């Protein structure tokens, strides 16, 4: 297969010549040219990967090779291999049919080894999901004793003066009684108490019976009255009593969707021995099979999203709690059953310690343990710590920080860029823990939307949002293994965009894949730029869906990170008044969570940071968060806080100096940033008030900004917090790099008018010394761009664009007759575009010859008098066609037309993807609007042959197949006969809709004698 590229032939030649010529300049040895080269052809580390799902034992070597070869051909850098089995249907699909290969059988292991060797041959990397299915870490080797456990509590009302005989549940850990009464349903001896869960980890103010707390000395420990046979025998004192029986039960979650050979209970996440039972049965043997390829081609093990509910107990938990917190948790266990002990405030302190202990064990026994085992083999741990349903007790920032590559997950949301992009949990953990690779499980879809309806253009705004949120590497969900050659072939059931060789457009997806690789490479460079770091304290242990960390009081144009205790205590320092981390990250302000608690050790470290020059904003802490060393810990906090905050009370006095730094309390964050004269990192205005999201990376000698929008295109008046540097445009769609000519550098900021197309995005780089720039433009005597003037609404409609040549000359590309155009540069040079008429655009109208891919139900070819959607054709084979249709037409160009600098082909509206060939040579593949491509180097005087290959989705054929008997259907899909579509479902517009034009543009370079005036 010929590897297509979205970069036009002419552009590619230009880029290659630029690289060759740069070899003769001293700068070619510097980082600048390396940045250019890696941007044009992204390296392995930046290329997107896929999740490669092997479905229920349906695996073949032939299919493995074909899958991987096509992935490599379009620019995929690696795979993470799963074995999944939807043993039950649902959400529009049927169960996965069982294949001949059994999970972890000798044949299965041989196929994994074969896939790994094929990856090595193709210079791709491979990873393994830790168990069968995609969530999370379990299997048939896990018993109830080594599974996830949850603490429960039974509440038993007892009348005093009698002997109580009650059989307690298995695994009872504590029995307490206190004076009181409770209601039970008629006929019920006891009731199950509601328990504290991750979603609501604290007691509310009026929690408990009648809103009252039980004093700890009122509880009686009845464990001595528990008989060997599990019977509680107690001679109850007079009065009414409530007996609490604390016991742990099995969390029945199993790893899913898994085969019978690999499905079983989820392992305990608080005991590394239990974790090893899964590791040693799955990835351990596969890593051993890999031999020397482990750590070389086999790079990582993945722990996918946490979808197994929560774990709140283990047999070792009480002892681990004592060891870490310094006191026995038993007297406070009622708080877990939402019964306050002594007070709600004291109980919440225990609950903080409880969650911190779970967090410690999760970090050490689960994520940290698996990571350490992989490091012994030279491999990495990649993990999706969050899923978003508040299922996990634990600080996700810390857990992400333990992983080598933190990974987020996001499901498809169209026009997502209309939302403001805040830094995600995985990204912020990567930033504060020094990790440049932030992965994202990208374009997951649900609700039966894995229906082949998406094309790459539909995915771009989600991709851009992820980039702005901090993603630096895409993992496409999903690429289902195709064991055979039927099409559309095997699917992942109801979810996942189909990134596999059975999909019509996958062979044409290289432009989209290259876009993801180029943007990822650029945003892997240097360090994330954030002005604020928010300390989340002991409080924020869960997040919104998919780990979105909003910070609503952060002004527009600024970005923030978030840090946990470990980062503040072990990684933070101060240099030149900024908070710094060992990897180079720095922040102007440390923002404290809006809480009145802080541990003594954190407060001591905070005092040291302020003393060295840090600026901290937040309320004065009053107490410690937990019960360790209580109540002395509170006195320690008060003394330390009084010393640091001094007279600052957050009302009459909002700032206090301490050492070289200061603490601020009661002053809004925007006001503080303004007082610090810290301008917004990025600001903008648009005529339509559209949302423009951004992210900024900094290098020692360069600044990199990525900006993006959703919906319709717009002209954006952008302002960057950079000065004295030449802005360059790195176009991620084409790989072209060019100096920006029109910009203004004033007051420490560079202002650039930037045209963003629909769902548009640009990369702006500042690394070279500033050249002369165009600072004023007049069109027909009216100023449309000038310093200190609002960008004219007419600027967007200018029929010309400006660029800088390699020697600093001003070049103007005239795109149509443009009247009087004048400009002035920062150095005082003036220019005027000579009056010249461009040839009129050539309209390509019918008739069109269209040839259709064989075997898809359409006639071999048809003639269209005018362009129209295939779905509107009278022939049912065309109307229901899915696949590749090739439009052919000849056109003639006169010599005068070819005298112009550039010639472009505008396809108008395309429903699908389009590859353009002129005179037999490919100009490139277009996957998003505007569907315009440069054909300058391919056309000739006289006759030219044009071919446009358009590929649509499978949707129309799948609808057409619903209108015929099953044995006559063309689309062969597994699992069979999904209910995504009906015979009467609306058809999707498909094909080339136009109108189609060939346009000329002329480049004019300001003559030397004018440039020197």
Report the C-alpha gap between 455 and 168 in whole angstroms.
58
- Span 319-345, average pLDDT: 97
pLDDT at 796: 87
Please determine, for residue 894, whether its predicted confidence score (pLDDT) is greater than 50. Answer: yes
Residue 637 scores a pLDDT above 90: yes
Q: Is the per-residue pLDDT at 713 higher than 60? A: yes
Lowest model confidence (mean pLDDT) among 310-319, 445-454, 656-665, 854-863 = 445-454
Percent of the chain predicted with pLDDT > 70: 93
pLDDT band at 494 (very low <50, low <70, confident <90, very high): confident
Confidence of residue 993 (pLDDT cuts 50, 70, 90): very high
Which is more confident, 244 or 390? 244
Which position has the higher pLDDT, 47 or 421? 47
How confident is the model at residue 186, as a pLDDT? 87
Query: What span, in angstroms and rounded, lies between the C-alpha atoms of 834 and 813?
Result: 12
> What pLDDT is stored for residue 633 in this prediction?
97
Give the per-residue pLDDT at 92: 66
CATH of 50-142+254-304+378-527, one of 3.40.50, 3.30.230, 3.20.20, 1.10.10: 3.20.20
**Structure confidence by residue, pLDDT tens digits, 455-469:** 999 999 999 999 999
Model pLDDT, residue 25: 30
Cα within 13 Å of Cα(391), Cβ side: 21
Q: What is the pLDDT of residue 30?
A: 41
Confidence of residue 447 (pLDDT cuts 50, 70, 90): low
Say if residue 553's pLDDT is above 50.
yes
Is pLDDT at 597 greater than 80 in this prediction? yes
Q: What is the CB neighbour count within 10 angstroms for residue 925? A: 25
Asked whether the predicted pLDDT for residue 956 surpasses 60, the reply is yes
| Residue 20 CB coordination number (10 Å) | 10
Which residues partner with 779 through β-bridges?
782, 821
CB 624 within 8 A of CB 599: yes
Cα–Cα distances (Å) from 887 to 492, 847, 894, 955, in that order, read 33, 10, 23, 21
- The DSSP element (H or E) to which 943 belongs, if any, is strand 942-951
For residues 300-321, give the mean pLDDT: 95
> For residue range 262-297, what is the model confidence (pLDDT) as tens digits?
999 999 999 999 999 999 999 999 999 999 999 999
pTM equals 0.95
Lowest-confidence segment of 6-10, 98-102, 151-155, 214-218 by average pLDDT: 6-10
Question: What is the share, in percent, of the chain residues with pLDDT greater than 90?
Answer: 80
**Per-residue pLDDT, 26:** 29
Kindly state the average pLDDT of the residues 769-782. Answer: 93
Q: What is the pLDDT of residues 98-155, one digit of tens each?
A: 999 999 999 999 999 999 999 999 999 999 999 999 999 999 999 999 999 999 999 9
pLDDT band, residue 815 (cuts 50/70/90): confident
* Cβ neighbours for 631, distance < 8 A, ≥ 6 positions apart: none
Per-residue model confidence (pLDDT) at position 14: 36
Cis preceding-peptide flag for 488 (omega within 30 of 0)? yes
| pLDDT value, residue 12 | 44
More confident residue, 411 or 178: 178
Spans of all domains in the chain: 50-142+254-304+378-527, 149-252+315-354, 528-676, 682-833, 842-953+988-1006
pLDDT level of residue 1004 (50, 70, 90 thresholds)? confident
Question: Is 842-953+988-1006 in CATH node 3.40.50.300?
Answer: no
- Averaging pLDDT over each range in 424-428, 663-667, 756-760, 792-796, which range is the top one? 663-667
Q: Annotate 413-469 with DSSP letters as a single string.
A: -TTGGGS--PPBHHHHHHHHTT-S--EEEEEE--SS--SS---HHHHHHHHHHHHHH
What pLDDT is recorded for position 32? 59
Task: Give SS3 for 331.
Answer: helix
Give me 753's structure tokens. 């008018």
* Per-residue pLDDT, 681: 98
Mean pLDDT computed over every residue of the chain: 92
Task: Supply 502's token pair.
Answer: 């059975």
Residue 24 has pLDDT above 50, yes or no: no
Residue 364 DSSP symbol = I
């Amino acid at each position: 297969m010929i590897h297509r590229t979205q970069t036009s032939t002419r552009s590619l030649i230009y880029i290659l010549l630029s690289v060759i010529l740069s070899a003769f300049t001293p700068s070619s040895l510097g980082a600048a040219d390396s940045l250019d080269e890696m941007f044009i052809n992204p390296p392995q580390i930046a290329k997107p990967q896929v999740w490669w799902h092997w479905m229920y034992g349906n695996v073949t070597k032939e299919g493995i090779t074909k899958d991987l070869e096509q992935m490599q051909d379009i620019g995929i850098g690696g795979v993470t291999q799963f074995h999944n089995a939807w043993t039950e249907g649902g959400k529009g699909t049927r169960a996965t049919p069982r294949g001949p290969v059994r999970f972890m059988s000798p044949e299965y292991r041989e196929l994994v080894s074969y896939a790994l060797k094929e990856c090595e041959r193709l210079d791709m990397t491979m990873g393994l999901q830790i168990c069968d299915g995609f969530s999370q870490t379990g299997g048939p080797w896990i018993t109830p004793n080594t599974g996830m456990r949850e603490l429960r509590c039974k509440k038993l009302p007892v009348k005093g003066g009698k002997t109580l005989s009650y059989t307690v549940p298995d695994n009872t850990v504590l029995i307490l009684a206190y004076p009181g009464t409770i209601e039970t349903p008629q006929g019920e001896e006891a009731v199950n108490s509601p328990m504290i869960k991750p979603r609501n980890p604290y007691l509310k103010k009026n929690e408990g019976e009648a809103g009252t707390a039980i004093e700890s000395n009122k509880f009686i420990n009845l464990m001595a009255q528990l008989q060997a046979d599990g019977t509680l025998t107690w001679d109850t004192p007079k009065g009414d009593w409530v007996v609490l029986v604390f016991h742990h039960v099995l969390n029945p979650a199993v790893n899913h969707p898994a085969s019978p050979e690999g499905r079983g209970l989820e392992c305990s996440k608080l005991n590394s021995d239990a974790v090893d039972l899964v590791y040693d049965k799955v990835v351990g043997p596969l890593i051993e099979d890999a031999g020397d390829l482990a750590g070389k081609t086999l790079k990582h093990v993945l722990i996918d999203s946490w979808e197994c509910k929560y774990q709140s107990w283990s047999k070792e938990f009480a002892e681990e709690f004592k060891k870490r917190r310094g006191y026995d948790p038993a007297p406070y266990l009622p708080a877990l059953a939402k019964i306050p002990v002594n007070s709600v405030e004291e109980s919440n302190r225990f609950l903080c310690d409880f969650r911190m202990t779970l967090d410690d064990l999760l970090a050490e026994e689960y994520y940290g343990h698996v990571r350490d085992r992989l490091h012994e083999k030279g491999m990495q741990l990649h993990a999706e710590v969050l899923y978003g349903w508040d299922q996990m007790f634990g600080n996700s920032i810390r857990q992400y920080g333990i992983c080598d590559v933190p990974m987020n997950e996001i499901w498809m949301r169209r026009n997502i860029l209309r939302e403001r992009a805040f830094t995600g949990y995985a990204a912020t953990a990567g930033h504060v823990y020094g990790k440049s690779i932030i992965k994202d499980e990208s374009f997951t879809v649900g609700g039966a939307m894995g229906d082949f309806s998406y094309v790459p253009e539909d995915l771009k705004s989600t991709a851009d949002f992820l980039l702005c949120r901090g993603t630096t590497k895409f993992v496409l969900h999903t690429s289902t293994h195709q064991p055979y050659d039927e099409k559309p072939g095997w699917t992942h059931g109801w979810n996942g965009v189909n990134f596999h060789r059975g999909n019509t457009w996958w062979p044409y997806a290289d432009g989209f894949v290259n876009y993801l690789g180029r943007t990822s490479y650029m945003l892997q460079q240097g360090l994330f730029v954030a002005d604020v770091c928010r300390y989340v304290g002991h409080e924020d242990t869960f997040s919104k869906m998919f780990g979105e960390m909003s910070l609503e009081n952060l002004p527009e144009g600024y970005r923030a990170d978030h840090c946990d205790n470990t980062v503040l205590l072990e990684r933070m320092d101060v240099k030149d008044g900024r908070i710094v981390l060992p990897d180079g990250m720095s922040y102007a302000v440390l923002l404290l969570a809006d809480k009145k608690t802080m541990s003594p050790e954190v407060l001591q470290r905070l005092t040291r940071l302020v003393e060295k020059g840090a600026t901290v904003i937040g309320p004065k802490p009053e107490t410690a968060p937990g019960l360790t060393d209580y109540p002395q810990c509170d006195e320690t906090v008060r003394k330390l806080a009084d010393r640091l905050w001094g007279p600052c009370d957050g009302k009459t006095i909002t700032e206090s100096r301490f050492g070289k730094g200061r603490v601020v309390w009661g002053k809004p964050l925007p006001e503080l940033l303004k007082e610090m004269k810290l301008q917004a990192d990025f600001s903008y205005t648009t005529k339509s008030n559209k949302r423009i999201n951004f992210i900024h990376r900094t290098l020692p000698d360069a600044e990199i900004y990525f900006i993006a929008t959703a919906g319709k295109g717009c002209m954006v008046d952008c302002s960057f917090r950079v000065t004295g540097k030449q802005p360059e445009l790195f176009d991620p769609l084409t790989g072209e790099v060019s100096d920006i000519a029109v910009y203004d550098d004033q007051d420490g900021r560079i202002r650039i008018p930037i045209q963003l197309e629909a769902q548009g995005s640009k990369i702006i780089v500042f690394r070279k010394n500033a050249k002369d720039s165009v600072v004023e433009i007049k069109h027909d005597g009216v100023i449309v761009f000038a310093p200190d003037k609002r960008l004219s609404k007419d600027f967007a409609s200018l029929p010309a664009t400006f660029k800088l040549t390699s020697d600093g000359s001003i070049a103007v590309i005239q795109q149509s007759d443009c009247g009087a155009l004048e400009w002035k540069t920062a150095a005082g040079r003036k220019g005027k575009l000579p009056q010249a008429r461009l040839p009129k655009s050539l309209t390509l109208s019918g008739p069109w010859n269209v040839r259709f891919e064989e075997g898809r139900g359409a006639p071999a070819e048809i003639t269209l008098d005018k362009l129209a959607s295939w779905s509107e054709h009278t022939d049912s084979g065309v109307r229901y066609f899915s696949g590749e249709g090739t439009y052919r037409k000849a056109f003639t160009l006169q010599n005068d037309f070819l005298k112009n600098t550039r010639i472009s082909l505008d396809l108008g509206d395309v429903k699908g993807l389009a590859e353009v060939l002129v005179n037999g040579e490919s100009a490139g593949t277009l996957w998003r609007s505007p569907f315009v491509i440069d054909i300058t180097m391919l056309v000739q005087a006289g006759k030219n042959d044009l071919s446009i290959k358009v590929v649509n989705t499978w949707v129309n054929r799948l609808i057409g197949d619903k209108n015929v008997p099953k044995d006559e259907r063309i689309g062969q899909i597994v699992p069979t006969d999904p209910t995504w579509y009906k015979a009467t479902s609306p058809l999707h517009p498909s094909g080339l809709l136009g109108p189609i034009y060939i346009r000329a543009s002329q480049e004019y370079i300001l003559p030397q004698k004018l440039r020197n005036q």
